[in-house]
């Protein structure tokens, strides 16, 4: 969905942003709150996410001996309908991404992590709500109109040959990721905290069902964060990924991603986050936007500490119109994190 008038339901994004701003304008309780960090958003394009993503993260590392166990459930609606000369793309489905994320404070400066996702591809449940929003705002998108007669589609062809197809109801393991983060600088009154991030994607995913790429990828990046006043925290990430192998027989190229986020600390237990993410695509000159276009997206949501060791988070992702054509239609996610301290 887009925050513009290009027929993909822009009112959802505006409602999310307006809601956050409206809540932030109310008077919060007096508290010295701790930030929760940016949302761990990735590029949810069903093909581009097969290459390593380095989701949004804060610069601060866990204290030594602390262990975070996080479960993320992310529901993504994807819809593309293209027929340029020599190629076709008919994509209409939803993916439930179940991610188990383990993060451990190894030393005062070093944090290591492992993420293992499980993917489920099916017709989904968001199509009706998305279509209702489009009807009430910009009108039904061209892709949704073209695929109105089908409930599920996943077929991409190029030069007369089908290069991508996926089974309805498929369930499978995705590619796992090993990560490490080393804090280079602690935050001071004038300087932000700064960390070096590295990641390796392991080819554990089902390549036949396009849940994995079949090859390892390598990533490196930096993360920064700075507190402003008593209640605002700014976050920034910049990363690059070097993929290997091929996807659907297509060569892969290095990607760049960036993230900027603002977190407003409402109280000790509640914060509101507004985030912007940018991704380049790992594909070049395929002739289809689902491959060739990157994504610029806005993310809005909240973080709530249910109990001392439990955190509940929810966010929604919507494409904005700096780049159009490659982003997934809409994503909503819920996360639960338990922090164990030795």
The pLDDT, as a whole number, for residue 6 is 45
Give yes or no for residue 342 having a pLDDT over 80: no
For 11-340, the fitting CATH number among 1.10.620.20, 3.10.580.10, 2.40.160.40, 3.40.50.150 is 2.40.160.40
The pLDDT, as a whole number, for residue 12 is 46
**What is the spatial distance between Cα 149 and Cα 165, in angstroms, rounded to a whole number?**
19
Strand 153-158 versus strand 110-122 pairing type: unpaired
Give yes or no for residue 3 having a pLDDT over 70: no
The pLDDT, as a whole number, for residue 22 is 52
Give yes or no for residue 133 having a pLDDT over 90: no
Q: Mean pLDDT, to the nearest integer, of 260-283? A: 97
Q: Mean pLDDT, to the nearest integer, of 167-194? A: 97
**What is the spatial distance between Cα 273 and Cα 268, in angstroms, rounded to a whole number?**
15
Indicate the helix (H) or strand (E) that contains 22: helix 11-25
The pLDDT, as a whole number, for residue 11 is 45
Sign of torsion over alpha carbons 33, 230, 278, 331: positive
- Kindly report the average pLDDT of the chain as a whole number: 91
**Can you give the pTM of this predicted structure?**
0.89
Q: E strands of the chain, at which residues?
A: 67-82, 87-105, 110-122, 153-158, 161-165, 171-173, 176-185, 193-202, 217-228, 232-243, 246-247, 250-251, 255-265, 270-279, 295-307, 310-319, 330-340
Query: Would you kindly state where each structural domain of the chain is located, as residue ranges?
Result: 11-340
The pLDDT, as a whole number, for residue 135 is 84
74-99 pLDDT tens trace = 999 999 999 999 999 999 999 999 99
Give the three-state DSSP class for 268: coil
| Vertex 20: Cα angle to 18 and 26 (nearest 5) | 105
How much of the chain exceeds pLDDT 90, in percent? Answer: 80
32-76 pLDDT tens trace = 467 899 999 999 999 999 999 999 999 999 999 999 999 999 999
Higher pLDDT, 300 or 134: 300
Q: Which two tokens stand for residue 179?
A: 């990560």
The pLDDT, as a whole number, for residue 91 is 97
Give yes or no for residue 173 having a pLDDT over 50: yes
Give yes or no for residue 30 having a pLDDT over 70: no
The pLDDT, as a whole number, for residue 18 is 52
Higher pLDDT, 134 or 52: 52
Give yes or no for residue 263 having a pLDDT over 60: yes
**What is the spatial distance between Cα 97 and Cα 46, in angstroms, rounded to a whole number?**
11
Confidence of residue 16 (pLDDT cuts 50, 70, 90): low
Q: Mean pLDDT, to the nearest integer, of 178-204? A: 97
Higher pLDDT, 66 or 26: 66
């Amino acid at each position: 969905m887009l925050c513009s008038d290009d027929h993909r339901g822009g009112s959802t994004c505006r409602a999310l942003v307006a809601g956050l701003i409206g809540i932030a304008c109310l008077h919060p309780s007096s508290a010295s709150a701790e930030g929760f960090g940016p949302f761990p958003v990735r590029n949810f394009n069903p093909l581009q996410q097969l290459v390593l993503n380095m989701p949004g993260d804060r610069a601060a590392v866990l204290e030594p001996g602390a262990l975070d166990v996080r479960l993320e459930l992310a529901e993504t609606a994807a819809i593309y309908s293209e027929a340029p000369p020599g190629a076709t793309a008919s994509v209409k489905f939803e993916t439930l991404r179940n991610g188990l994320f383990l993060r451990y404070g190894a030393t005062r400066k070093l944090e290591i992590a492992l993420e293992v996702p499980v993917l489920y591809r099916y017709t989904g449940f968001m199509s009706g709500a998305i279509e209702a929003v489009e009807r009430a705002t910009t009108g039904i998108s061209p892709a949704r109109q073209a695929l109105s007669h089908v409930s599920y589609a996943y077929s991409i062809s190029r030069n007369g040959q089908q290069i991508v197809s996926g089974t309805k109801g498929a369930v499978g393991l995705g590619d796992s990721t090993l990560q490490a983060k080393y804090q280079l600088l602690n935050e001071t009154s004038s300087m932000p905290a700064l960390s070096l991030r590295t990641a390796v994607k392991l080819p554990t995913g089902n390549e036949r069902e396009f849940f994995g790429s079949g090859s390892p990828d390598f990533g490196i990046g930096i993360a920064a964060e700075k507190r402003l006043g008593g209640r605002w925290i700014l976050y920034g990430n910049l990363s690059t990924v070097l993929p290997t192998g091929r996807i659907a027989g297509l060569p892969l190229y290095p990607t760049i991603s960036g993230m900027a986020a603002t977190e407003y600390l409402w109280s000790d237990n509640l914060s509101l986050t507004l985030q912007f993410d940018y991704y380049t695509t790992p594909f070049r000159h395929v002739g289809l936007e689902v491959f060739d276009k990157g994504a610029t997206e806005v993310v809005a949501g909240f973080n709530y500490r249910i109990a001392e060791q439990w955190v509940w988070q929810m966010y929604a992702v919507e494409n904005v119109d700096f780049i159009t054509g490659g982003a997934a239609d809409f994503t909503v996610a819920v996360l639960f994190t338990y922090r164990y301290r030795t």
